[in-house]
Amino acid sequence: MKVAVLAGGVGGARMALGFAEIVPPGDLSIIVNVGDDDRFHGLYVCPDLDTVLYTLSGVVDRTQSWGVADDSTRALEVLRKLDSPGGWMKLGDADLGLHLYRTSRLAQGASLTAVTEEVSHRFGVHCALLPASDEECPTMVEAATGLLRFQEWFVRDRASPTVKQLGFQAARKARITDRVRASLLAADLVVLAPSNPYLSILPMLEIGGMRDALQQAPGLKVAVSPLIGGRAIKGPLVKLMSDLGAGSSNSDIAASYSDFADAFVVDEGDSRDVANVSHQGALRVAAMPTLIPDAPRAEELARRLLDFASTRRTTGAAG
């Protein structure tokens, strides 16, 4: 069964890890948010792509769930001493090696897709790790304190300023890559990982061609809720949804995917939400253990999603 996963940062990386354990690499595509990407000290940094890469290759820092384990910050200390702008962005030394390589290759004219493929293979990751777009499409944050780039709001300002609106202008002008489109159309199962819907998934959905490809994709399209007991495991989701007046329930999240999703998965502890969400259109709703703090539990969720997709196919064939 061919699987495509739309992934943001930590939640997306864990979901990808689960599938990587049980799906042959040639059948697995991880489509990754690039709305968080930005330049620091002249280097092109792709936090979500790197979190997925480090997680899949096993070098990730397991305490913070991003960056390289036991990394040092000597270069950053010098940059801070030199008062280089953006010194608040934590970039480890090993991490910088990757950013240097990527920036150098991009400057030579290689696409982000091509560079990511080179890097993945060298890191021993053999599924397709695909940036959602090869174009720059930074998510902008219209905050109470002014218009901020995503990392300024998220890292520098610790996601504290109230968000009035998110800006996806660049994403709307950009296009998904041919490989992203092809992997969505070829997939038997498309999974929206339990990443932040507004900061990780929506920035991908807004990229030119993404919703079209998802609507046309013939496989089962399942969104996994990032909420467990009404809260996000990590990150500023609930506060952000409240800031945006977007509602912060499973029903609200499901609604934002209803134009293309076939099914919505809530945590097994939130099975009372199944009925609520089911009222929304034709969306099938299932409850599964969505807490995936480690590889075995991510693998278990991936297996449940594959089973869910198989059942649906069998049902489809029988009906």
Name the site residues for a second copy (rule: CB under 8 A). 41-43, 71-72, 74-79, 81-84, 92-94, 96-98, 100-101, 103-104, 107, 118-119, 122-123
Minimum distance, C-beta of residue 108 to a second copy, in the bound complex (Å): 9
Minimum distance, C-beta of residue 191 to a second copy, in the bound complex (Å): 29
Minimum distance, C-beta of residue 61 to a second copy, in the bound complex (Å): 13
Between 76 and 127, name the residue whose CB sits nearer to a second copy.
76
Between 100 and 185, name the residue whose CB sits nearer to a second copy.
100
Minimum distance, C-beta of residue 38 to a second copy, in the bound complex (Å): 14
Do the Cβ atoms of 46 and 7 come closer than 8 Å? no
Minimum distance, C-beta of residue 53 to a second copy, in the bound complex (Å): 11
Between 156 and 297, name the residue whose CB sits nearer to a second copy.
156
Between 21 and 93, name the residue whose CB sits nearer to a second copy.
93
Between 27 and 123, name the residue whose CB sits nearer to a second copy.
123
